[in-house]
Amino acid sequence: MGFYNDIILPRLCDLAMRNKQLVPFRERVIGAAEGRVLEIGVGSGMNLPFYRQPVREVLALEPAPRLVTMARSASRGTSMPISFVEASAEAIPLDKHSVDSVVTTWTLCSIPQAATALAEMRRVLRPGGKLLFVEHGLAPDEGVRWWQNRLTPAWRYVSGGCHLNRPIRSMIEAAGFRIDRIETGYMPGPKPMTFMYEGSARSG
């Protein structure tokens, strides 16, 4: 799986994230960021062109070296100060209360220890700081959930650990965040893969 994970999978992820239907989600989520921003799982850098003031700085966290290289290339088209942090979301190498906003877009599905990562996000956020998110996850419909649960073991294997069935809202709340806004619903496409959670939460 080394060649697949290191070479093929980053390209597949980049291709999937180029879906134009995702652009409005990016615009809304990134548009709400401010101050010093930590983006979790920057991937190939698809979000980077959307950052504007009042964002002062973007800390782009990504554990996959190949994706960091791709994101650095994408960052050349923006004047926003961007620093790349090659690290895991489960052990964020930043001080407590050191960022104003945390952004996560289609990332919580694939972090192995998502609860640990969310606790780390809360740790680095200043009091009252914002967690801004758009994620796919567990659907409300029993028939869709059945498929999500059935497909996830194989899907994880070919998609870099992506879970189709994570209960995003309850995960965020269990980490101690208070939901300010959340919108859910299906976007076009196969329902097991397309139930979206979009919103913001406070660190307390």
* 139-156: pLDDT as tens digits: 999 999 999 999 999 988
Render pLDDT for 96-128 as a digit per residue (tens, 0 to 9): 999 999 999 999 999 999 999 999 999 999 999
- Do the beta carbons of residue 152 and residue 164 sit within 8 Å? yes
30: exposed, middle or buried (Cβ count in 10 Å: 0-12, 13-18, 19+): buried
Render pLDDT for 23-41 as a digit per residue (tens, 0 to 9): 899 999 999 999 999 999 9
Asked whether the predicted pLDDT for residue 12 surpasses 70, the reply is no
**Measured CA distances, 138 to 6, 191, 201 (Å):** 28, 10, 19
The H or E element that residue 174 is part of is helix 168-174
What is residue 4's predicted lDDT score, i.e. its pLDDT? 42
> What contacts 197, CB < 8 A, 6 or more positions away?
133, 134, 135, 136, 137, 168, 169, 182, 183, 184
What is residue 160's predicted lDDT score, i.e. its pLDDT? 77
What is residue 203's predicted lDDT score, i.e. its pLDDT? 80
Is residue 9 very low, low, confident or very high in pLDDT (cuts 50, 70, 90)? very low
What is residue 161's predicted lDDT score, i.e. its pLDDT? 82
Asked whether the predicted pLDDT for residue 16 surpasses 70, the reply is no
The H or E element that residue 29 is part of is helix 23-31
Domains of the chain and any CATH numbers: 2-202 (3.40.50.150)
Is residue 163 very low, low, confident or very high in pLDDT (cuts 50, 70, 90)? very high
Asked whether the predicted pLDDT for residue 3 surpasses 60, the reply is no
Looking at every residue in the chain, the average pLDDT score rounds to 90
What is residue 112's predicted lDDT score, i.e. its pLDDT? 93
Q: Which two tokens stand for residue 167?
A: 């209960």
Render pLDDT for 41-89 as a digit per residue (tens, 0 to 9): 998 898 999 999 999 999 999 998 888 998 998 888 788 999 999 999 9
Please give the average per-residue pLDDT across 169-184, as a whole number.
Answer: 97
Strands 35-40, 55-61: pairing kind: parallel
**Rounded CA separation 110/197 (Å):** 15
What is residue 22's predicted lDDT score, i.e. its pLDDT? 78
